[in-house]
Every structure is written in structure tokens, then in C-alpha cells.
Amino acid sequence: MNIKDYLDSTYLKTNTQAGLSEKDNETVVQGFIKEAIDEKFKLIMIRPDRVALAKKMIVEAQSKVLIGTVIDFPGGNSALDKKLKEAFECIQNGADELDYVCNYEAFKNGEVDLVKEEILKGTRLGLVHNKIVKWIIEVAALNDLQIAQLSALIKNVVISNFKESDYNSVFVKSSTGFFVTKDNLPNGATVPSIKIMLENSFPLPVKAAGGVRTYDEAIEMIAIGVKRIGTSGAKAIANSEESSTQY
């Protein structure tokens, strides 16, 4: 097993969040993209406005690194047409994978039909263009029952509307890494939350995002069934070091 095949190297901070100028933050982004190319990670995960840059760098390097981006990030509560417009623009700019933030607040409020519609139409848009689709459910914002229910809802929409051959192209993903928790509780993937996702999303694959900071933690996630790991410390994990990053 090559751990790098599981790692989505991730940098999603805005200029303000990073405390950097636009120019300096772009330099950081370029560094992450170059590192993903050099280290042969599975994918580089960046914000929509950086997709074209990543595509240019990857093509010039003749690399096979995939480009992933986040849609309706980090809140997930935009209108569906806005969500789909952003996703389509990212496809046009060269994105290979679309990580939508599911409208988990609508789900918590009982607006199940709204959530079903965005999962259906967002997934369809990705699959029609031969893209991988992931739905971020934000486990830190949900209780265990809600994690199970939302994972199952995504699974059921996919099974009811798409071919079996599409299932491996639609992931359920744990976290944005940007949710603010109380009492400094984890805001990313935990083993208990991932196990609930795995049990309720099967046969769809699961991505553990945020909170995986060591090689051993990554191996544990893979051992229980995770197919992808999102981290801003991919190089450290691949080198069996502990990541110092929060995501």
C-alpha cells in the first residue's frame, strides 16, 4: 500500500484566514501544488479561485495529480442554483473532483427534500462530466444519529438515481475543517464518527477530512475502510512525522 494514494493534500485558507496578502497567500498555494506534484499525492485540494492555477502548474509539470475543489464552502447553505453554478465553473477551469458542502443545517431543520434535491442535482452535474463528487456532512455539527441519517440519505439518493458503476465516484466526507466547536472539541474526522459514516453510507466510499495528523492515524482510518484522507500535512504524514497543522 502506498499511503500517498490516499492523501488529498489540502490548503483552503483565504488570504484573511491565513493572515497574508493575496500575493503571499498565492505563493503558499503554489507551494502546496508543487509539493503535491513532487510527492505524487493523489490530489491537491484548493479553493475554486485557485483551480485554474493548479491546472496550469500540473499540465506544465506533466503530472498526474488530480485537482479537487470545494463547493459552497464552508457553510453549505447557499441556494442550489448558486451551488451548481460554482461547481460548473470549477469543472470548466479543470477540476477533477467536487467536494460540495451539504446543507447540513437544512437537514437538521427537517428540510429533507431540499437536501435530497441538492444531492441529486449536484451529483448528477459531477457524474455527467466524469468527475468525482464528495458530500461534506460536517460531523462536528451533528450528533451521532444525525451523522447516521445524513450519510444514509446521501447513499439512498445515489442508489435510487444512479448506476451501480457510479457508486465509487460519490463519497461521503466528514468535515470542512472550518466548523467552530465549543470547548475545543474536534472539528474534523474522528474514528467514532467515521465508523458511523462507513456503516450508513455503504456502498459509497468515505473520506476522512481534518484531524488526521500522523501516519498511524492515517493507517487506522484506512484499516477501518476510509478511501481518502484530507489533510494539510500530507508530506509529514507520508514521511511518518506528525503534522503540526490544524487540518
Question: In which band, very low, low, confident or very high, does the pLDDT at 1 lie, cut at 50, 70 and 90?
Answer: confident
Long-range contacts of 185-189 (CB under 8 A, 24+ apart): 185/140, 186/140, 186/211, 187/140, 187/211, 188/139, 188/140, 188/212, 188/247, 189/139, 189/221
Residue 188 pLDDT exceeds 90: no
Which is the catalytic residue, given 13, 42, 83, 173? 173
User: pLDDT digit string (tens) for 155-169?
Assistant: 999 999 999 999 999
Tell me the residue range of the domain where 13 lies.
3-238
How many domains are there within the chain?
1
Report, as an integer, the average pLDDT of 175-197. Answer: 87
User: pLDDT digit string (tens) for 96-145?
Assistant: 999 999 999 999 999 999 999 999 999 999 999 999 999 999 999 999 99
The residues, any chain, with a CB within 8 Å of residue 39's CB and separated by 6 or more, are 4, 9, 234, 235, 238
**Integer Cα distance of 173 and 99 in angstroms:** 8
- The answer to whether residue 245 is domain-embedded is no
- The answer to whether residue 82 is domain-embedded is yes
- The answer to whether residue 186 is domain-embedded is yes
- The answer to whether residue 229 is domain-embedded is yes
Is residue 23 annotated as part of the catalytic site, yes or no? no
Q: What is the CATH number of the domain that holds 48?
A: 3.20.20.70
Is residue 207 annotated as part of the catalytic site, yes or no? yes
**Integer Cα distance of 113 and 160 in angstroms:** 14
Which is the catalytic residue, given 99, 131, 134, 235? 99
Q: Which amino acid is at 49?
A: D
Residue 245 pLDDT exceeds 70: no
Residue 214: per-residue pLDDT: 92
- The answer to whether residue 77 is domain-embedded is yes
Q: Is 186 exposed, middle or buried (0-12, 13-18, 19+ CB in 10 A)?
A: middle
> Which residue(s) pair with 135 in the sheet?
100, 172
User: pLDDT digit string (tens) for 59-85?
Assistant: 999 999 999 999 999 999 999 999 999
Which residue shows C-alpha cell 498526474?
64
